[in-house]
């Protein structure tokens, strides 16, 4: 079976497993008060060029989103995002569970359009009965988006400026951040994100870790009692080392970037192969998620030998198929896929 | 430094790390739909003698408690527990975050007394203005308790009977369950728990795993949409395998029980040594947590060389100190401690 | 000043004030355990032809919606409604506050289209990753809608059938129900609503009461602990009589229907007058809310002498204006308006 | 039947009904934007000597408590109160519904003891694992308390000082405030409360209104979006006038104080009569709630002719009975009671 289903179908990069093994019997205090977490945080601060950053490690992305969003919003505020945003579509109502509304704008190939955002916030502000309604309280974007697309540096700067104007925190969900940073033509890097966002997380689970996301408040701006809030959300690991050791390894010798680049190379190879065979793409994605248009019968037949997901049906008996590469994708797997097509 | 601070100061038992390494590059589907999770569940069902059990893996105990309690309670119900219960004292308000009240009764050496529980439920039922108040909706116990004590089989049966009578689910928090099962004189085993409880979890984090708790609904009685509820609570791991592989290892060749027994042996050795030196105990604990009375100045002095926690001050310039053994405790560490006393 | 701003700009119908005055010094027990509430409930049961109905009185509509929706949904369920639904647009996030998502479909002149609903529910059911998402848990409609439109008996029957098929409660928000029942050509009456809905409320605040909504669970199907849930939501009046007396008066001698009919007559007179003067309507509303297209400058000028609300801007320097009649509207006020146009 | 069951067994003081009748057909805007609300607020500001106060009207006490407490607390904070506090015992879990914990200290005849509070807050601050626990976020007191007792000016000043020191808002629940202000020997008045509390409400429901509580933030310190929060809690009346007119009447010509004094006079007469007949009191209450010790059989017999509530059983076949006077209590009712004893 060829796995192109997601970027979390294998365990961890071997350097991570080795680090876990190497440090395994060292006795350290719990809940993140260990030297591995400290070291990992220091390396991330350097990579982001924000020496004052507050950093917290989480086990997964929905958990991180849930905690950050709740910590930023006051009771009658909601979070604004594109209607393709993971927090709106696929997180089982985590935001609503914490009492808040997700306020959506139509996505532009997965992205939140700065002009639309600005117009929306202006409309909210001018609304004569605004005080009967949920107030926009922060802005959520994902980078790469759920559709594999990327914001440009200019777009990110615009979002930042609009958020500043309306005094709304800007939060970036980087579940697949490495793949976004290493994409060809990417104009957004970690220091830029740290400069333009009030919080963001560097995804580990989908980029080589067993589990783990590193949440960054770049300006020492973690909300009050954020540690307790993690506890309250069930997000505090007794063995915090599990996350510290992994991020320490990921940010040693550029491992995070190297393995991300590998996934991009695999995606490019996949795209080239599919193009050569005449397949159309649902949209142009520069990252590790590719959305390809297949005849329905071919998708059905292929599913015996390849694991992938059906993104959505199209007309004319066609479907959009999502194929995902990762740090662990073997070139041979892509070769086998091409032979099957 | 001698670590007797908690049972989560080291990584994982080596058999677990080996299993993670061995299976690392196998490609499997995410979110628990992998063969390791399936195998671990099957082994746990056998160990509990409940072939119909629904089993879910969580990353930590607070998370598990939060999800189970919310799934069992309807809007105006609360969870009844001893006032020493972890959900009341130390989980940052997880239960309240999900909208529910923790309703406490005075603990009896960490335990919920069946007679007190019965009297309380009868009082609630007879209360003429009960419908202005939170209704008891389930009962929470921990085993071993936060004070290291254990319920007897008879007490567990009584709690079960009372809960049945009042139609309340009985939930057992087994964060340190292995140590309770292997304690000398323990009359409660896994099949008994499965028979008397509506849900319980088998703690992994404190018993040799990197992280992980196995939640068991013994009678195929998981609440509706429980999987989605895990997602909503941020408790669903993309790489579910991380938990499946670990519990598969823990329930292979009785590893869970063997390493728990080791901790008990270490605790017994610790107790014997302290007794010999004339120390008094705050209470009699048959498990891996020992509560010892130290002169304050000695506790202060010791803290340079030994990691432990101050449980509470006593009068007369004394303190109760908690010393914890685990699967990873070395006899040599106990020897060194004795030399320091 | 001419008030056509809403149907809550005056106090109560005089028969209600008289009833309050007449009963004022009678001593009765609190929290709804009084003879006025009992009598009002009995009259409503008769009017709805559902002798088994559970009935609860609330102070306002948002409060009622919040309590009913929370009581019907389990943790990972959301409420499906049209995107013009009051609970989605104008209630300050009441549903999200209670932990639930509002799941919207595009409105058809304020209504939820049965065919669209059916297709949506089918899609949700067929979704391979449905268990990562909020599940549809109930359906909300308003009648009359926020745009003044009405469901036909056939549409209501279809919604009922679809909800039955998917085992979802159907809930009808009747904030302005009287005006819907008395509209010309209305095919929906109270017994029909009681037959097709699992819960609905009969609005009093906007139909002649000082405050008050009568929530009906037609089949003795109030959720468990609903009284306590009202208390928890702050919706339980100590002097429950305030609502009992008012609904007793409203359902005596058909007062509710008579005063509703008056508002419809006023609306019809208003419509005829505006049509005669050549105004266009944004949509055809058979009830007491009329949506008229005005040149922007005229709306601005008129606002000195008439209280109304701007519903939304249109292109070409025009606006949609909402004009509302009520039980209290005087024909003379309409005459004065016509003179101003 | 003699009603001494509560202070909400009649409708409204006649001056209030007259005001409602007099203003009934005046057309005004909704949601509190009417001249009656404005006038009532101005009078309350004067009575409290805090011209900058933000004032909001609610329908009931639980609703007010729920909204204020949620608006003051951040996610991981709880509200500290005596274990006899209404929010802990009798409000159906309103505080927990909004995600927060009620943190109790043992009551001293219904009061929160300043010294105990101070010691508790110091303990919380010194706790080495405080960040795993709910943080004290505000302090709640009721005045008069649920047991009819009163804080002295000195105690209130102490609570204020402690709260200031720990940066916690102090909130006073004045459901029966009028009776507290008019009690003999009372040293606390409205301006003092406004000086020492960050928020408090002046109860109307139990002091002559049909319904209504006036919430005061004395220093223009209403939390952000408080109006929307009221909407979200279902606490915003469309016909806000209903509350404005009532409080306007209550604060005209000292009506609020006069009718409160009447209740105190009735309570004093009741106490004197009972003392004369040899009854003992459970505690000394200077306000309108009296807690009297009755033989159980007498309480049972009396319940045919007198409405009262059994507060709690005592030993020796005795019970504590609560007898409540109000603005509406007739001297003749007390006379009839005496004849029955």
CATH number at residue A18: 3.40.640.10
Taking 90 as the threshold, does the pLDDT of residue A315 lie above it? no
Question: Are both D219 and D73 inside the same structural domain?
Answer: yes
- Given this model, what pLDDT does residue A316 score? 87
Instruction: Give the CATH number for residue B309.
Output: 3.90.1150.10
Task: DSSP for B10-57, please give it.
Answer: S---HHHHHHHHHHTT----STT-SHHHHHHHHHHHHHHT-TT-EEEE
Asked if D135 and A228 come within 8 Å (Cβ–Cβ), the reply is yes
Crossing angle of helices B114-126 and B153-165, rounded to 10°: 10
Please state, for a pLDDT cut of 90, what percent of chain B lies above it.
99
Q: Is some CB atom of chain D closer than 8 A to the CB atom of C305?
A: no
Question: Are both C90 and C171 inside the same structural domain?
Answer: yes
How many CB atoms sit inside 10 A of residue B67's CB?
25
Taking 90 as the threshold, does the pLDDT of residue D158 lie above it? yes
Please state, for a pLDDT cut of 70, what percent of chain C lies above it.
100
Mean pLDDT of A190-209: 98
Query: Which of A81, A103, A134, A322 should be substituted to probe chain C, the one whose Cβ sees the most C Cβ atoms within 10 Å?
Result: A134
CB < 8 Å from A in window 182-221 of C? none
pLDDT single digits (tens) B237-275: 999 999 999 999 999 999 999 999 999 999 999 999 999
Q: How confident is the model at residue A218 (pLDDT cuts 50, 70, 90)?
A: very high
Question: Are both D82 and D179 inside the same structural domain?
Answer: yes
Asked if B100 and D100 come within 8 Å (Cβ–Cβ), the reply is no
What residue of C is the nearest CA neighbor of D90?
A: C231
Question: Are both B219 and B267 inside the same structural domain?
Answer: no
Asked if A59 and B62 come within 8 Å (Cβ–Cβ), the reply is no
| Distance in Å, alpha carbon of D89 to nearest chain B alpha carbon | 7
Asked if D93 and C232 come within 8 Å (Cβ–Cβ), the reply is yes
Question: Are both B218 and B244 inside the same structural domain?
Answer: yes
Asked if D233 and C97 come within 8 Å (Cβ–Cβ), the reply is yes
Crossing angle of helices D14-23 and D241-250, rounded to 10°: 130
Q: How confident is the model at residue C315 (pLDDT cuts 50, 70, 90)?
A: confident
pLDDT single digits (tens) A139-181: 999 999 999 999 999 999 999 999 999 999 999 999 999 999 9
Mean pLDDT of C331-338: 96
- Given this model, what pLDDT does residue B168 score? 98
What residue of D is the nearest CA neighbor of B93?
A: D134
What pTM value is reported for the model?
Answer: 0.97
Residues of B in contact with C135 (CB under 8 A): 225, 228
Question: Are both A189 and A237 inside the same structural domain?
Answer: yes
What residue of C is the nearest CA neighbor of D62?
A: C234
Asked if C20 and D26 come within 8 Å (Cβ–Cβ), the reply is no
**Distance from C-alpha of B142 to C-alpha of B111, rounded to nearest angstrom:** 8
**Distance from C-alpha of A135 to C-alpha of A27, rounded to nearest angstrom:** 47
Question: Are both C279 and C218 inside the same structural domain?
Answer: no
**Placement of tokens 């995600």 in the chain:** D99
Residue that terminates a domain, selected from B207, B233, B250: B250
Interface size, chain A vs chain B, as Cβ–Cβ contacts under 8 Å: 163
How many CB atoms sit inside 10 A of residue B284's CB?
12
Residue that terminates a domain, selected from D202, D230, D250: D250
Q: Which domain holds residue B262?
A: 2-7+255-340
Phi, psi of D142 (to 5 degrees): -115, 145
- Given this model, what pLDDT does residue C159 score? 98
CB < 8 Å from A in window 81-120 of C? 89-93, 95-102
Q: How confident is the model at residue D231 (pLDDT cuts 50, 70, 90)?
A: very high
Which chains does chain D touch, 3 or more C-beta pairs < 8 A? A, B, C
Asked if A30 and B8 come within 8 Å (Cβ–Cβ), the reply is yes
CB < 8 Å from A in window 315-334 of B? 328
**Distance from C-alpha of C155 to C-alpha of C145, rounded to nearest angstrom:** 13
Question: Are both B261 and B245 inside the same structural domain?
Answer: no
Residues of C in contact with B227 (CB under 8 A): 131
Contact A196, A159 (CB under 8 A): yes
Task: Enumerate residues 6+ apart whose C-beta is below 8 A from D133.
Answer: A228, B89, B90, B92, B93, D124, D127
Q: In degrees, to the nearest 5, what angle opens at C-alpha D132 toward C-alphas D129 and D136?
A: 90
Which range, of A32-36, B219-223, C189-193, C315-319, averages the lowest pLDDT?
A: C315-319
Asked if D90 and B132 come within 8 Å (Cβ–Cβ), the reply is yes
Mean pLDDT of D123-147: 97
In chain D, DSSP finds a helix count (H) and a strand count (E) of: 14, 13
Task: DSSP for B107-139, please give it.
Answer: -BTTBPPHHHHHHHHHHHHH-TTGGGSPEEEEE
Q: How confident is the model at residue B316 (pLDDT cuts 50, 70, 90)?
A: confident
CA B10 vs CA A238, B296, C61: distances in Å: 11, 28, 56
What residue of A is the nearest CA neighbor of D76?
A: A229
Taking 90 as the threshold, does the pLDDT of residue A194 lie above it? yes
Question: Are both C173 and C204 inside the same structural domain?
Answer: yes
Asked if B131 and C227 come within 8 Å (Cβ–Cβ), the reply is yes
- Given this model, what pLDDT does residue A38 score? 98
Q: In degrees, to the nearest 5, what angle opens at C-alpha B305 toward C-alphas B300 and B309?
A: 55
What residue of D is the nearest CA neighbor of C8?
A: D239
pLDDT single digits (tens) C61-87: 999 999 999 999 999 999 999 999 999
Question: Are both B272 and B134 inside the same structural domain?
Answer: no
Mean pLDDT of B65-69: 98
Q: How confident is the model at residue D281 (pLDDT cuts 50, 70, 90)?
A: very high
Asked if C75 and B70 come within 8 Å (Cβ–Cβ), the reply is yes
Mean pLDDT for chain C overall: 97
**Distance from C-alpha of D33 to C-alpha of A188, rounded to nearest angstrom:** 49
pLDDT single digits (tens) A110-119: 999 999 999 9
**Distance from C-alpha of A244 to C-alpha of A257, rounded to nearest angstrom:** 18
How many CB atoms sit inside 10 A of residue C79's CB?
28
Mean pLDDT of A219-236: 97
- Given this model, what pLDDT does residue D142 score? 98
Residues of B in contact with D88 (CB under 8 A): none
**Distance from C-alpha of B178 to C-alpha of B326, rounded to nearest angstrom:** 10
Asked if D229 and A75 come within 8 Å (Cβ–Cβ), the reply is yes
Question: Are both B28 and B117 inside the same structural domain?
Answer: yes
Which chains does chain B touch, 3 or more C-beta pairs < 8 A? A, C, D
How many domains, in total, are found in chain D? Answer: 2
CB < 8 Å from C in window 272-301 of D? none
Question: Are both A277 and A219 inside the same structural domain?
Answer: no
Residue that terminates a domain, selected from D224, D250, D276: D250
What residue of D is the nearest CA neighbor of A237?
A: D132
- Both tokens of D16, joined, read 């209030």
Mean pLDDT of A78-95: 97
**Distance from C-alpha of B81 to C-alpha of B220, rounded to nearest angstrom:** 24
Asked if C237 and D14 come within 8 Å (Cβ–Cβ), the reply is no
């Amino acid at each position: 079976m060829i796995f192109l289903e997601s970027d979390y179908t294998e365990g961890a990069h071997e350097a991570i497993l080795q680090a876990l093994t190497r440090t395994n019997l060292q006795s350290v205090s719990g809940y993140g008060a260990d030297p591995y977490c400290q070291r990992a945080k220091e390396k991330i601060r350097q990579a982001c060029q924000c020496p004052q950053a507050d950093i917290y490690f989480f086990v997964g992305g929905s958990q991180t989103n849930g905690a950050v969003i709740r910590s930023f919003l006051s009771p009658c505020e909601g979070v604004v995002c594109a209607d393709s945003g993971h927090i709106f579509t696929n997180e089982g109502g985590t935001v609503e569970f914490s009492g808040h509304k997700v306020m959506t704008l139509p996505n532009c190939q997965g992205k939140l359009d700065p002009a639309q955002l600005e117009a929306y916030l202006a409309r909210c502000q001018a609304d004569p009965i605004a005080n009967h309604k949920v107030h926009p309280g922060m802005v959520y974007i994902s980078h790469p988006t759920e559709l594999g697309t990327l914001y440009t540096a200019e777009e990110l700067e615009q979002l930042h400026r609009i958020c500043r104007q309306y005094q709304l925190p800007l939060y970036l969900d980087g579940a697949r951040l490495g793949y976004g940073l290493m994409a060809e033509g990417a104009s957004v890097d970690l220091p830029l994100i740290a400069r333009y966002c009030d919080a963001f997380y560097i995804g580990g689970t989908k980029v080589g870790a067993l589990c783990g996301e590193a949440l960054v408040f770049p300006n020492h701006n973690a909300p009050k009692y954020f540690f307790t809030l993690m506890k309250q959300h069930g997000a505090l690991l007794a063995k915090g080392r599990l996350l510290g050791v992994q991020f320490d390894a990921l940010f040693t010798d550029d491992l995070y970037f190297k393995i991300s680049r590998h996934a991009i190379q695999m995606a490019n190879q996949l795209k080239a192969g599919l193009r050569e065979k005449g397949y159309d793409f649902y949209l142009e994605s520069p990252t590790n998620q590719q959305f390809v248009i297949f005849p329905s019968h071919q998708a059905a037949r292929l599913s015996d030998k390849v694991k992938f997901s059906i993104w959505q049906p199209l007309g004319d008996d066609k479907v959009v198929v999502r194929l995902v590469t990762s740090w662990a994708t073997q070139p041979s797997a892509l070769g086998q896929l091409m032979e099957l097509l």
